[in-house]
Amino acid sequence: MGKTGQYRQIDGFKPEGGQNPRAQSGCAGKGDEISPLVTVAHGRNKRILIVDDDAGIRSALLVALSGMGYEAAAASSGSEALNVFLRNRYDLVITDLQMPGMDGWTLASLIKDRFPNIPVVLMTGQEKEDVMKDPRGNCIDCAIFKPLKLQELEKELKEMFGIAQ
């Protein structure tokens, strides 16, 4: 099921059981809210699927990621996302944790079961400590916390895709 139960360190917190060898820097933490302001395009045709039941967050991320040069699409639920993902294949999935029906953990697990090399980023408003302790962390590559800092998200995406900074 994807990784070995360890994912990227976040703002000084370490996942239970140690640190992912890739954990050079933390993912976005609390602070700046999502802003549609974006930087120079660098996505190089990478395809990202955004999954969130909040239309405002989906819309803001679509604008931001498109402005960064990524081809972004969105789904409003885990089941819709799984169907869209299986039909279109994406290079990375950013999913909300808490959604009606299928939650982000379940979606991440289903994607990693079939496509273990596809990065899955969990996005949540939950407390960091609760997320870091969750044993389902082996099915995600990174956790980011709302409200998002777009500069940190951009940095993490570049790193995951191996794009020079």
Which phi and psi (to 5°) does residue 143 adopt? -120, 135
Distance (Å, whole) CA 58 – CA 68? 15
**pTM of the predicted model as reported, rounded to 2 decimal places:** 0.73
* Residue pLDDT, tens place only, 22-47: 232 233 333 333 333 333 345 568 99
N-to-C CA span, the chain = 30
- State pLDDT tens for residues 56-94: 999 999 999 999 999 999 999 999 999 999 999 899 999
Output the CATH code of domain 47-161: 3.40.50.2300
